[in-house]
Structure 1
Amino acid sequence: MTLPFDAVLCDFDGVLRFHDPVAQARIDETYGLAPGTILKTALSPALMGPASLGLITCEEWEASLVTAFTDVLGSPGRAARLVEEFAAVPSWIDEEARGLLAEARRRVPVVLVTNATTRLEEELERLGMAGFTDAVVSSARVGVAKPDRRVYEIAAERAGAAVERCLFVDDRPENVAAAVALGMTGVVYGGPTDLRAALADFISPAWRNQSR
């Protein structure tokens, strides 16, 4: 059987890794902030942008968060504790998504494509994901971030596949749209069912018969 893709390129956060939303909300509440304030501030282009491009380290990004929240909370000590708690929010790997990608990897290369900080490698090791994919394209290491077309080109190159023969999976529509514009097949990820459908030709009968 001819396979529809020669490589699978996949996002990390929002597809494989998830953070505890209850713990994140609790930190906002503890420090008297509106729901979602910490995450919105941490991921703002002004603060996350340099970190995701590798222009600053993860530690420097966290220091910039302390400065930002010092202005809000009026106390460097409280701001530092907030950032420490935020960095320690529990995260986990979705095992169904991981299993589906492992099935695909038996047939074609799988490449992780993620906007990340310089701490990504440490996080992959901690979560038992080091070596799970054939390659990792981290924005902090290549100096460009999704949805810049160069990220997708780098990922395809590392997979050894033409861009039009790549499947790209991401939970952000704008990232998927950029991949599709380049010629890839894109999937906006909403859950394992989306991944299962996209990888139908790669999945063994045992996986197909699992409950969804």
Structure 2
Amino acid sequence: MTITERPVSERPFDAVLCDLDNVIRFYDSSALAALERLAGLHEGTTAKLAFSPELDRPLLLGRISREQWAESIAERLREDFAEARSWELAEAMTRSPFTADGTVVSVLRGARAAGLSLVLVTNAALDLDEDLAAMGLTDLADHVVSSAREGVAKPDPEIYAIAAARAGAAPERCLFVDDRLENVEAAVAFGMTGVHYRGPDDLRAALAFLS
């Protein structure tokens, strides 16, 4: 865990601003990996293309749907690899099954029950609400700040300002949790306390003051 140091007080934060993917939500890419092996591609090839800025950015800013994203991935697979399974691979990539980490959800619910404002701050597609409903998490947070809805994505400072405002807390009273170091560093530069998330113990340690 990487956490910035601040003066110790009884309750150092009024809000937790938490990332979704790779903190709360985790994807099962086994079906995609199997398809890549069948196609003679290295595992991770599809994801590397899908998350390249030119394909991923329009999705995260709400300019295209998940279906349009899949189409762009399939097109790139055909262009770069002459891949006959391009659409099958793209569908497996964009529709990979996912689950929520029950331990993390429990810790976050506990923080909210203790009186902290909880805001999800995520670079996500337009159908995020459907995904949260599928995981039974529509009631997890007080607010959800989604890049696709706001038209701005982490690590842009604007999304941190939006999240703090929704939380009703000054930046210096916000704990920001994310698995991507660049996003954490941007939050710290904005005045927040940042936790570079690698596992549930990182979150527990940051919220130990609630015990």
TM-score normalized by structure 1?
0.90
Partner of 1:114: 122
- What RMSD over aligned residues (CA atoms) do the two structures have, in Å? 1.5
* Displacement after TM superposition at 1:73 (Å): 4.5
* Displacement after TM superposition at 1:83 (Å): 1.5
Match 1:95 to one of 98, 102, 112: 102
Structure 1: which 5+ runs fail to align?
204-212
Partner of 1:206: none
* Displacement after TM superposition at 1:22 (Å): 3.2
Q: Does 1:67 align with 2:75?
A: yes
Q: Is the 8 A contact 1:110 1:135 kept in 2?
A: yes
**For residues 179 and 205 of structure 2, what CA distance do their matches in structure 1 show?**
15
* Displacement after TM superposition at 1:84 (Å): 1.8
Q: Is the 8 A contact 1:7 1:109 kept in 2?
A: yes
Shifted more, 9-18 versus 62-71: the winner is 62-71
Partner of 1:104: 111
Letter in 2 for 1:172: R
Runs of 4+ in structure 1 over 4 Å off: none
* Displacement after TM superposition at 1:74 (Å): 2.9
SS of the equivalent of 1:105 reads: helix
SS of the equivalent of 1:46 reads: helix
Partner of 1:171: 179
**For residues 117 and 4 of structure 1, what CA distance do their matches in structure 2 show?**
32
Aligned residues: 202
SS of the equivalent of 1:55 reads: coil
Residues 126-171 of structure 1, C-alpha deviations (whole Å, 9 max, x = no match): 1111121000000000001000000111000000000110000000
* Displacement after TM superposition at 1:96 (Å): 0.6
* Displacement after TM superposition at 1:98 (Å): 0.6
SS of the equivalent of 1:110 reads: strand
Percent identity at matched positions?
Answer: 50
Q: Counterparts of 1:151-162 in structure 2 under 5 Å?
A: 151-162=159-170
Partner of 2:63: 55
Shifted more, 187-196 versus 47-56: the winner is 47-56
TM-score normalized by structure 2?
0.91
Residues 99-128 of structure 1, C-alpha deviations (whole Å, 9 max, x = no match): 000110112110000001112111111111
Q: Does 1:125 align with 2:128?
A: no
